[in-house]
Structure 1
C-alpha cells in the first residue's frame, strides 16, 4: 500500500526533515545542502498545504505527481498546495545545492498578492516544464531569496510581512518574465508540441473515436504528450493564438459541418457520433460557435 505523508504547516515540514524549529510559522527557506533523505523516506509520497519554489543546481532525482525529473543546472520549479512529490533516491547532506522556499497560503491572507496568485500559471506546470535560468537570472533570484531570509530571521516587526510579500511578488514577476523569454527561445520545441497535438486530435476525430470515448479534453491530449494541461494550452496559445480547448472545439465544429452536409444522418444521430450524450447539448454547442443551429446550417447550405 502506498505511503502518503500530509504536511500541513511549516513546523511540520521542518520536523519531517529533522531541521530546527522554523524562524517564522508561515514561511521558510531551506538550504538544499542541509536536507538528508534516508532510505526509509524514498518512495514515500509527500503532499503539502504549502506553496514551494525550488532552485537546485545539480541532478537529484525527484518525482512530482507521476513525472520523474532530474533538475538540470539552474532549473526552477513551482508547486502549489496539494501537489505531491516523492524522493526517488537517498540523499546525503551537502550532496546537493540550491534552496527551497515554502510558504503557507495564510501568509498571503489580506494581501494584494493573494488576489494575484492565479496569474502565476506556472504553479500548475509539471516538473518537466521547469524554468531554466541563465546565470544572471539565477543571481537575481538568489538576491531576492537573501532579502526574504534576512527579513524573517533578523528583522521581524510589524512591517516584515509587507517587505517579504513585496520581495515574493518581485520573484514571481521576474519568473513570469523569464518564462515568457523561455517560450520565445523554444520555438522549435513548441512547434513540435503543436504538431503532436494536432496529430492526436485529428486522429481521435478522424478515426471516429468520439462516439466511443467522447470529445477529447485538454487533459486527455496533455497526458499523451506528457505535459500539464496548463503548459499545453499556453504553448498552443503562443503558437496559434487560441487555447487548446478552443482548438479542439474548432476541429469539432469542422467535423460537425462536414457530417451535416455529407450524410443523411439526423442531427440527433450526428450528435451521438460526435460524442454528445444528448442532442440538445450538441445543438447548443454548435450554435454557440457558429451562430446557427445544426438544422439551420444544413438547410441553408
Structure 2
C-alpha cells in the first residue's frame, strides 16, 4: 500500500519543515533547505491548502494529476487544495536543496477580493507537465514577494496583517500570470503543434460521425487527446487564437450545422437533435451568437 501524507493544518506543515512555531494559523512559508525528512517513493501527498512551490535544484519527477510534472531546476508549481501529488522516486535531504513553498488555507482569502478572483488563476488547475520556468529576474521578483509576506508573519498580528499578507499573495499571483503569459509566447512553435492537433481531432470527430455515438466533444475530451489539462489547453488556445477550447468546439459544431442546413431539408429541431442538443432553442441561440443569424436565416440567405 502506498504511503500517504495528509497535511490538514499549518502546524502539520511546519512540523514537517522543521519550523516548530506557528506564526499564523492559515499561512506558512517553507524553506526547503531546512527540511530534514526524506519522502519515500510512491508517497501520496494531499494538502488542504493552496501551494506555490519554487525549487532551485534538480530532483526526480513528481506526478500531479496523471502525468509527470516538468518540475525542474528553477521552476514553480501551483497546486490547488485537495489535489494529490505522488513522488515518483525517493526524495532525500540534500545539502544543495534550496527553494521555498508558500502554503495558505482558503479561509485566509475567503471574503476578500482575492478570494473572489482565485478562479481566474487557472494555473492552479494545470495538472500535467507545465510548471512555470523562471528567469533569474523573475525568480527574484517572486522571492521579494515571499520576503514581504515573511516580514508580515514575523510581526505581531494586528488589524492590518491579513490585508497586507493577502495583498502580497495577490501581487505574487499576478506576476505568475504575467510569467505564464510569457511562457506561452516563448513556446509558440510547440503551441502551434498543439493547435494543429486540436483542429485535427475536432475535424476527425465530426467527419467520422462520432457525435452520433459519443455526443458533443467536451473540453475534457479534447484536453486528454493532446495530453494537457483542460485549463491549460484553454489558456494556450486563447493566447494563440483568441478562442478558448469551448469556442473551438463550437466553431466546428457550427460548421457542421451549416453543412447540414445547406445540404438537407431537415428542420432546425431535427438538426439540433442530430447534433445532440436536448433543446433546439439552445442550439439556435448558440448558432445565432456565433453567426449573427438564426439557422433559418442562414439557410434562406444561402
Aligned residue for 2:54? 55
Structure 2 CA distance for aligned equivalents of residues 4 and 147 of structure 1: 33
Counterparts of 1:147 and 1:291, CA distance in 2: 51
Moved more, 185-194 or 5-14: 5-14
Secondary structure at 1:128 match in 2? coil
Structure 1 runs not aligned, ≥5 long: none
Paired residue for 1:187? 188
Closer, same or farther in 2 for the Cα pair 1:224/1:59, shift >3 Å? Answer: farther
TM superposition shift of 1:197:
1.0
Contact 1:125-1:231 at 8 Å conserved across structures: yes
Contact kept, 8 Å, 1:37 with 1:87, in 2: the verdict is no
Instruction: Please list, as runs of the form range in 1=range in 2, the aligned pairs for 1:98-137 lying within 5 A after superposition.
Output: 98-137=99-138
For 1:219 and 1:101, the matched residues in 2 are separated by 29
Superposed CA RMSD in Å reads 2.6
Q: For the Cα contact (< 8 Å) 1:57–1:71, is it kept in 2?
A: no
Q: Distance in 2 between matches of 1:170 and 1:278?
A: 44
> After the TM superposition, which residues 9-88 of structure 1 pair with which residues of structure 2 at under 5 Å, given as runs?
9-15=9-15, 20-35=20-35, 36-39=37-40, 42-60=41-59, 61-88=61-88
C-alpha contact 2:26 2:104 (8 A) present in aligned 1? yes
| Alpha-carbon separation, structure 1, partners of 2:197 and 2:81 | 30
Secondary structure in structure 2 of the residue aligned to 1:53:
strand
Q: Within 2, Cα distance between the matches of 1:259 and 1:13?
A: 58
Who is 2:230 aligned against?
A: 229
Structure 1 residue 44 displacement after superposition: 3.6
Per the normalisation by structure 2, the TM-score is: 0.87
How far the C-alpha of 1:147 sits from its partner, in A, is: 2.4
Q: Structure 2 vs 1, CA of residues 292 and 140 (structure 1 numbering), >3 Å: closer, same or farther?
A: closer
User: 1:173–1:213: structure 2 CA closer, same or farther, 3 Å change rule?
Assistant: same
Whole-Å separation in 2 of the counterparts to 1:110 and 1:262: 54
Residues 272 and 279, structure 2, Cα contact 8 Å, conserved in 1: yes
1:69-93 Cα deviation digits (max 9, x unpaired):
2422211111112222122222222
> What is the TM-score when the length of structure 1 is the normalising length?
0.87
Does structure 1 retain, via aligned residues, the 8 Å contact 2:49–2:82?
yes
* Conservation of the 8 A alpha-carbon contact between 2:51 and 2:104: yes
Quote the Cα distance in structure 2 between the aligned partners of 1:150 and 1:4: 33
